[in-house]
Amino acid sequence: MKDNGARGQGLLIGVGLGPGDPELVTPKAQKAIARAEVVAYPSARHGRSVARSIAEPYLREGQEELPLVFPLTTEPEDPRGGYEQALVAAYDEWAQAIAERLAAGRTVAFLCEGDPFVYGSYIYLHERLAPRFRCEVVPGVPSFCAAAAAAGVPLAKRDDALTVLPGTLPEEELARRLAAADAATVLKLGRTFGSVRRAAQAAGVAERAVYVERASTDRERVERLPEVAGDVPYMSILLVPTGDRSPAGKRRPQRHERSLVTVVGIGPGAPDWLTPEAHAALCDADELVGYAPYLERVPRRPGQRRHPSDNRQELERARQAIALAREGRRVAVVSSGDPGVFAMATAVCEALDRDGLAEAVDLQVIPGITAMQAAAARVGAPLGHDFCVLSLSDRLKPWALIERRLRAASAGDLVLALYNPASRSRREQLERARKLLLEHRDGSTPVVVARALGSPEEAVEVTTLADLDCSRIDMRCLLIVGSSRTRVVARGGQRPAIVYTPRSY
């Protein structure tokens, strides 16, 4: 219990009551309730207060009770602007009523289920009153701790991170966070339960999720999420415990009738571009195989082994992954961008084909955001019409073939996305490609130069085919060369230009 140092005549105490069982009200909370001259608590319009019912054994005669009525979420639009503004108005009224008692020198205990500073109503009163009056907070047992105890399910252990989420998040955002979490708990169900269930299904965690209703009370209910039917009350929680691990902290290998290699696209750079499906596959793997810089972008997890290799060892890398899978290991081959676009899915397919293992080993390819998609999104929609994707690397195909394809794409007036434009050992190819394109396209043709997308070094520039500085291009760059229809729309201030290719001629 800590005094925040503000000076005023009265004292406001935010009292955490725990999840519902009066026996889980701490001795410190009991003393705070007993010392208060005024006991305030949230109340429904019909007069019932969950907080008061928990604290009732510790109330004493002579205390003033101050029920503070919540606006109903089911009410029609309020003239003050809807439920959110009605809540703000209610907290303002509550704060004023409590402030009057504090100004008279009285001690007010505000009763809060769970912990006052974990999604508690007390937070909004504290923000309004702490600058003027002395405030103390008595922590309480959070509801998700009681729910885990009721379910008999450890939420997190060892190096796992526990994520606490409100069910009011947008469904897609909730799914992304559930997929990314080692372990999670979702509060504020009730009307959000349908979207929370769908988010858990999309994140691939529904099977291990546990639903707990009114934890620690005589109305407690515990069920696996897939078995829950119908509506649920607000006083309910979803637990997503950590995945199955051995005591040593390593995920137990899943049994497959056949060996399985999973090739995972991790996107071009930014962690936010990693899909929930890709994240789940990376978390599930015993062995990670990939180009060393790409492996460094994957967070380290206990029990996983990493097998880094050089960028030019695609086939060797694929064979190593296949060999590990045949030993019964769960293998993820890490690929930047999308694994099927100039990346590792092709190498794994080739290894299975060459070595006659396509019948013995299953293959799963998890798509990712490509560099060309990320680059296009940064400037608008340059790939809005027909386009062609080419690699300028002549390491695996002759330059004559690259030139022939560049001429064909140029003759067809296609937008071009150019991968692998230049490296330390390949400097002249890009300049030759630029000169070839200028034979078919005007020098004012827009060119998007996207470098190190999704990283702190990211830089995106819009230039023209005539002004393209090939000396500044390296393997971290991707180029988008517009067609005759691609437009650049300049914007004032520091805003970048919009580049787009109309969908119709």
Quickly list H helices, 412-477: 428-438
pLDDT interval class at 246 (50, 70, 90): very low
Q: Of 188-197, 269-278, 363-372, which range is least confident?
A: 269-278
Output the average pLDDT for the chain.
89
At 61, the pLDDT band (50, 70, 90 cuts) reads very high
Per-residue confidence (pLDDT) for residue 74, from 0 to 100: 44
CB-based burial, 470-486: b 16+ in 10 Å, e otherwise: beebeebbbbbbbbebb
Instruction: Tell me the per-residue pLDDT of 343-360, one tens digit each, with 9 for 90 and over.
Output: 999 999 999 999 999 999
Residue 412, C-beta contacts closer than 8 angstroms, at least 6 positions apart = 386, 388
CA-to-CA dists, residue 141 to 116, 124, 149, 185, 242, angstroms: 10, 20, 11, 15, 21
Q: What is the pTM of this model?
A: 0.56
pLDDT at 114: 94
Rounded mean pLDDT, 415-423: 95
Q: CATH topology of 11-141 equal to that of 145-240? A: no
405 confidence band (pLDDT: 50, 70, 90):
very high
- In one letter, which amino acid is 147? A
Q: pLDDT at residue 225 above 50?
A: yes
- Looking at domain 372-500, its CATH superfamily turns out to be Tetrapyrrole methylase, C-terminal domain (3.30.950.10)
Indicate the CATH number for domain 259-366.
3.40.1010.10
Select from 3.30.2350.10, 3.40.50.11740, 3.40.1010.10, 1.20.120.80 the CATH code of 11-141. Answer: 3.40.1010.10
Give residue 383's pLDDT band: very low, low, confident or very high (50, 70, 90).
very high
pLDDT of residue 82: 66
With 0-12 CB in 10 A as exposed, 13-18 as middle and 19+ as buried, what is 140?
A: buried
Rounded Cα–Cα distance for residues 389 and 418 (Å): 6
What stretch of H or E contains 324? helix 314-326
Mean pLDDT calculated for residue range 395-413? 94
The DSSP line for 270-283 is: -GGGS-HHHHHHHH
pLDDT for res 395 = 87
Rg (CA), the chain: 30
**For the residues 403-424, what does the mean pLDDT come to?**
95
Average pLDDT over residues 221-231: 90
Q: Choose the weakest-confidence range: 3-12, 46-55, 125-134, 307-316.
A: 3-12
Other C-beta atoms closer than 10 Å to the C-beta of 80 total 12
Q: Taking a C-beta distance cutoff of 8 angstroms, is the pair 347, 316 a contact?
A: no
Vertex 250: Cα angle to 246 and 256 (nearest 5): 85
Q: Residues with Cβ < 8 Å from 119, sequence gap 6 or more? A: 166, 187, 188
Domain residue ranges in the chain: 11-141, 145-240, 259-366, 372-500
Q: Residue type for 106, please?
A: R
- The rounded distance, in Å, linking the Cα atoms of 361 and 352 is 8
pLDDT > 60? residue 454? yes
Report the greatest alpha carbon distance in the chain.
95
| Angle subtended by helix axes 276-284 and 193-203, to nearest 10 | 50
145-240 to CATH, choices 3.30.1330.10, 3.90.550.10, 3.30.950.10, 3.40.50.2000: 3.30.950.10
The arithmetic mean of pLDDT across residues 71-85, rounded, is 56
8-state DSSP, 267: B
